[in-house]
């Protein structure tokens, strides 16, 4: 075998290996690099300890997105009653779109979200009993028992209604003066869909 043919076969083998590795990365990673995401916002009047940037968002146990940022409502919005909303937590998260969602307009997606909320779609804080890590769990609950929180500001991202956590250890957010200086966590990366959500 000539040296040229040998080097050609080695080069071809390397290229095939790189291509295979890239394909495996996309498949095992769920193809997130090629999936559209949309940002939403929700609010909690309880401690969100254990929830952080990157925490998963689940729908009946199926991963559908991740938390983008967490902070107090008064850090992002000019509210009328600062004392009332001083300890309310705002959670911005992104959800991976489904096939065909890109064909819908923003108005159609918002109408669909409002219809789901009317049917009882709620987000609540849940905790993994093995790791202690928190995540957002979405499910359909009784809309009469868990009505959407009444707010006096206009969210800059589509709003999802929330429900209180079922964890007995979850309580109302305490005095902000007792919290650490690093209470507000930001996303380290910039997503292409950021225009739909608050500037965080």
Rounded to 5°, the CA angle 56-189-66 comes to 10
Helices (H), ranges, 3-150: 3-28, 73-76, 82-85, 106-119
Q: CA 85, CA 146: separation in Å to the nearest integer?
A: 19
**Strand stretches in the chain, DSSP E:** 37-44, 56-59, 62-72, 89-96, 121-127, 134-140
**Residue 107 pLDDT:** 80
The closest alpha carbon to 89, from 162, 139, 194, belongs to 162
Domain boundaries of the chain, sorted by first residue:
1-34, 36-188
Give per-residue pLDDT as tens, 76-121: 999 989 989 989 999 999 998 764 555 577 788 788 888 999 999 9
Q: CA 200, CA 194: separation in Å to the nearest integer?
A: 9
Q: Higher model confidence: residue 185 or residue 84?
A: 84
pLDDT averaged over every residue in the chain:
74
**Residue 111 pLDDT:** 86
Mean of pLDDT values over 180-190:
38
Confidence of residue 146 (pLDDT cuts 50, 70, 90): very high
CB 97 within 8 Å of CB 196: no
Q: Higher model confidence: residue 21 or residue 200?
A: 200
- Which residues make Cβ contacts (< 8 Å) with residue 140, sequence separation at least 6? 116, 119, 120, 121, 122
In the sheet with 134-140, reading across from the earlier edge strand, the strands are 37-44, 89-96, 62-72, 56-59, 134-140, 121-127
Distances (CA, A) of 88 to 2, 39, 112, 124, 165: 73, 19, 26, 14, 14
Q: What is the DSSP letter of 194?
A: G
Q: Is the pLDDT of residue 75 over 80?
A: yes
Give per-residue pLDDT as tens, 20-56: 444 433 333 444 444 678 899 999 999 998 899 999 9
> What percent of the chain shows pLDDT beyond 70?
62
The closest alpha carbon to 40, from 66, 13, 79, belongs to 66
Q: Higher model confidence: residue 78 or residue 191?
A: 78
**Residue 95 pLDDT:** 92
Q: Is the pLDDT of residue 152 over 70?
A: yes
Structure tokens at 171: 């309580």
> What percent of the chain shows pLDDT beyond 90?
42
Give per-residue pLDDT as tens, 165-177: 875 444 444 444 4
**Residue 159 pLDDT:** 92
Q: Higher model confidence: residue 13 or residue 24?
A: 13
């Amino acid at each position: 075998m000539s040296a040229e043919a040998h080097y050609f076969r080695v080069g071809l083998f390397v290229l095939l290996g790189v291509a295979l590795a890239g394909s495996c990365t996309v498949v095992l990673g769920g193809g997130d690099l090629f999936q559209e995401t949309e940002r939403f916002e929700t609010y909690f009047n309880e401690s969100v300890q254990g929830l952080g940037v990157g925490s998963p968002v689940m729908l009946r146990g199926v991963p559908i997105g991740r938390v983008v940022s967490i902070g107090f409502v008064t850090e992002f919005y000019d509210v009328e009653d600062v004392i009332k909303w001083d300890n309310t937590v705002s959670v911005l998260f992104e959800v991976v779109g489904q096939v065909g969602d890109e064909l819908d307009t923003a108005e159609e997606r918002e109408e669909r979200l409002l219809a789901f909320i009317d049917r009882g779609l709620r987000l609540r804080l849940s905790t993994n009993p093995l790791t202690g890590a928190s995540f957002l769990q979405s499910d359909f609950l009784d809309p009469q028992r868990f009505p959407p929180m009444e707010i006096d500001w206009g969210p800059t991202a589509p709003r999802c209604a929330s429900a209180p956590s079922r964890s007995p250890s979850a309580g109302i957010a305490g005095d902000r003066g007792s919290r650490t200086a690093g209470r507000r966590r930001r996303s380290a990366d910039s997503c292409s869909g950021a225009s739909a959500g608050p500037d965080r």
